[in-house]
Structure formats: C-alpha cells, structure tokens
C-alpha cells in the first residue's frame, strides 16, 4: 500500500552532456561496426557531393571557355542621322557608360585622321589599309588582348610619341621589335609593343594604337570615341544593352549603334540550364541512394541492441531516455559519416578536376545538403526502431538475447 504523502521516486534527468556521453558509448564500444556503418554513410554522401562537384566544375569550365568568346562584351559606335550623315559620340560617352552599375569595364578607341608608314620613303597612297586609333589604357584588358612583344601603353607612354601595333599591322609594316620608329601622321613614333591577334576585337589587329593624350597633342585627335567596348555582368547583358544608347548619347539615342549580345551568350544560358538540370537530377539520385544506406544501417544497428535496451529498462531507464539515447547515437553516427563523406566527395572532385585541368567547384549547398540529409535520415531511421524497442517490456527485450 502506498503511504499518504509519499511520492514515487522520479527518474533522473539527463543533461545534454550526459546525452552526448550516453550516445557516444555505443560508438566507442563497437568501433568496427561504427566504422563500417559510417563508411556506408560516407560513401552515399561522397557520391552526392562528388556528382554535384564534378558537374559544377564542368559547368565552370564551360563558362570559362565561353568567356573567351566575349559573351559579356558589347560595342557602342556612332550610327547615322536621319539624313544619312555619319554622327559622332559625345566625348563624355565613356564616363557616362561607366556609371551603369552592372558595367565592369569600359574602354574606347577613337579614329584618328592619320596613316602609319614604315618609313618616309613609302608612297603616301600605300597605307596598307592600316588605321590609326587613339586608345585608352584600359582597352587591352577590356577586349582580352595580349602583348606579344614589348609592353602596352601606360601612364607615361600614352602622353608621348609611342605606338603599339596590332598583329596584322606589325606584319604589313614588317616591324616586330620594340624601339623601332614608324611614321604616324607625319611624325616619328617609337614602337613600344606588338599585340597578339585579338579575337574579340579583330579590328585592332590592323591598327596602330596611340595613347589618347598623345593623339590629341601630336595628331589633332578631337577626343570623340569611335568605338566603346563595354564589359558587363553576364546576367545583365540584355539590360545594359537596352540603356547603352540613351546613356552614351542622351540627346540622340537613335543615332547610336549597339551590338547585340554574342550568340555564345545564348549558348551559355542553354548550357547552364542543361547542366543545372543534370546536376540536380544526379545529385538527387545519389542522395536517395545514400539515404537508403543510412536508413538500413541505423535500423539494423538499433535492432541489434534490443537486449541492451531491456537491461537498461530493467535498471530504471525510462522510455524517453531510451529513445533519446539511440536517436543521439544515430545522429552522432550520421554526423561522423556525413563529415567523412563531404571530405571524401570534395577530394574526389578536386582530383577529377585537376586531372581534366578544370577549376575545382564544390557548391557549399552540396556539403550542407549532404550533412543535413544524413542527420535527418539518421534521426528518422534511429527514432522508429528506438520507439518500438522502448515500448517492449524489459523481460521481452531481454528474451531477445
């Protein structure tokens, strides 16, 4: 009989640190099983991370190759008036275009009324179809050009009689050595560099490029740009193109020609869409396979220890404590396998990308999704058998041994 005023003893509460220690006890007492279980989990997560990482690295390589085609490069040039006359861009066109937020680089060239000759013994009419252009210092990076010999225009040489020859111009003038003098607009200019061919701006190959300040001082350049090269963010090419004409010449936007985005931009968007679908599909399949492996491992792990559950119940452990113990163990095991899987998947991706000379790209969401999925699946897979076993009477659970 129960005495009045005497309460039944309450089970001891487990603190969070006690829960972690209790959950880790099962991992420490069965190291081989823990290693094999964690390995199964790690393989599933590594498969997902590697699939996503390799797909992302492949997409980055495609983007890198398409960048070489100038998908983000737009050209602004003067058009013609309603009367059919050639018009000019304002001198302020470049700084005005530079104010557009998505624009990353702006550079311009200006046509100069002059010709370039190898020496003063060449007939005036034998121009070789070469033109003289006043160029910004930012021109070469904007169009992705490279200097074959010598150097590009800088703060010093752009103010003095110095010229950089395009690849075609150097060949027709038979000038390849920096320091050679050529005749530009009746004045001697020193060649400071020779360019490689510029695929994104082939018009520069047949030009002699002079710094803007020097062109104004020695060649009577009026400062009006004839072509403006604009580099924008990939996602904003169409938006920038729609405002370029009004920005370059607010008074007469209809007299401005703006190139349409490169066909390679459409190819980039189609490729990104296809690779994104492939990435999500393969990543989902790999995650599903890994999840099945995690669930199977945790169900077997919990069912194997029913006798232990019966013993702890006989010693006074509550059903809630049994559930907490095995769910915690499931989470710790899943976390261990998930961390190993993300590291292994990243390593596989880096090795594959290095072998193919690709940039290594592992999206952070892939690692986060792998860890979150293993924890979620581990919790679900550990909870159901733990709840079922905790409902068994101690004698029935012990009889399972």
The torsion angles phi and psi of 40, rounded to 5 degrees, stand at -60, -40
Q: Write out residues in the chain with pLDDT < 70, as ranges.
A: 1-14, 18-19, 22-23, 25-26, 29, 63, 65-70, 83-84, 261-284, 286-299, 301-303, 305-306, 309, 313, 317, 385-386, 388-390, 392-401
Give the span between the Cα atoms of 219 and 131, in whole angstroms: 13
The per-residue pLDDT for 148 is 94
Whose tokens are 């509550």? That residue is 318
Q: How far is CA 173 from the centre of its chain?
A: 42
Residue 229: closest CA among 219, 244, 215: 244
The per-residue pLDDT for 400 is 57
The per-residue pLDDT for 200 is 82
Torsion of CA 344, 346, 347, 350, to 10 degrees: 160
The per-residue pLDDT for 1 is 47
Give the span between the Cα atoms of 266 and 40, in whole angstroms: 42
The torsion angles phi and psi of 109, rounded to 5 degrees, stand at -125, 150
Instruction: Look up the pTM and report it.
Output: 0.56
The torsion angles phi and psi of 119, rounded to 5 degrees, stand at -160, 180
Torsion of CA 141, 146, 150, 156, to 10 degrees: -10
> Hey, where are the domains in the chain?
16-65+268-399, 72-107+229-261, 114-219
Whose tokens are 């390679």? That residue is 264
| Count of residues making up the chain | 401
What residues are paired with 116 via a beta bridge? 184
């Amino acid at each position: 009989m129960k005495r009045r005023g005497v309460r039944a003893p309450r089970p001891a509460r487990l603190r969070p640190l006690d829960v972690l220690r209790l959950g880790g006890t099962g991992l420490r007492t069965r190291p081989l099983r823990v290693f094999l279980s964690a390995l199964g989990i790690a393989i599933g997560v590594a498969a997902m991370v590697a699939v996503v990482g390799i797909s992302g690295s492949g997409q980055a390589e495609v983007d890198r190759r398409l960048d070489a085609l100038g998908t983000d490069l737009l050209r602004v040039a003067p058009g013609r008036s309603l009367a059919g006359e050639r018009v000019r861009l304002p001198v302020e066109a470049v700084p005005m275009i530079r104010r557009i937020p998505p624009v990353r680089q702006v550079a311009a060239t200006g046509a100069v009324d002059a010709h370039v000759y190898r020496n003063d013994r060449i007939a005036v009419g034998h121009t070789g179809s070469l033109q003289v252009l006043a160029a910004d210092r930012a021109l070469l990076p904007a169009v992705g050009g490279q200097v074959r010999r010598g150097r590009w225009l800088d703060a010093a040489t752009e103010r003095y009689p110095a010229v950089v020859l395009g690849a075609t111009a150097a060949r027709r003038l038979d000038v390849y050595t920096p320091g050679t003098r050529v005749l530009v607009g009746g004045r001697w200019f020193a060649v400071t560099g020779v360019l490689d061919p510029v695929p994104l701006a082939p018009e520069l190959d047949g030009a002699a490029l002079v710094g803007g300040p020097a062109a104004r001082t020695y060649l009577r350049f009026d400062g009006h740009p004839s072509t403006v090269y604009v580099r924008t963010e990939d996602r904003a090419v169409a938006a920038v193109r729609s405002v370029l004409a009004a920005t370059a010449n607010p008074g007469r936007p209809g007299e401005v020609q703006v190139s349409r985005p490169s066909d390679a931009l459409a190819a980039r968007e189609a490729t990104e869409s296809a690779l994104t679908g492939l990435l999500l599909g393969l990543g989902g399949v790999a995650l599903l396979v890994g999840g099945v492996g995690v669930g199977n491992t945790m169900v077997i792990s919990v069912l194997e220890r029913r006798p232990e559950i019966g013993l702890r119940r006989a010693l006074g452990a509550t059903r809630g404590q049994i559930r907490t113990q095995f769910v915690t163990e499931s989470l710790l095991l899943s976390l261990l396998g998930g961390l190993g899987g993300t590291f292994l998947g990243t390593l596989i991706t880096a090795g594959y990308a290095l072998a193919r000379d690709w940039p290594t790209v592992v999206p952070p969401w892939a690692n986060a999704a792998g860890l979150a999925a293993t924890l979620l699946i581990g919790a679900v897979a550990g909870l159901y058998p733990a709840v079922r076993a905790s409902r068994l009477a101690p004698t029935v659970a012990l009889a399972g041994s």
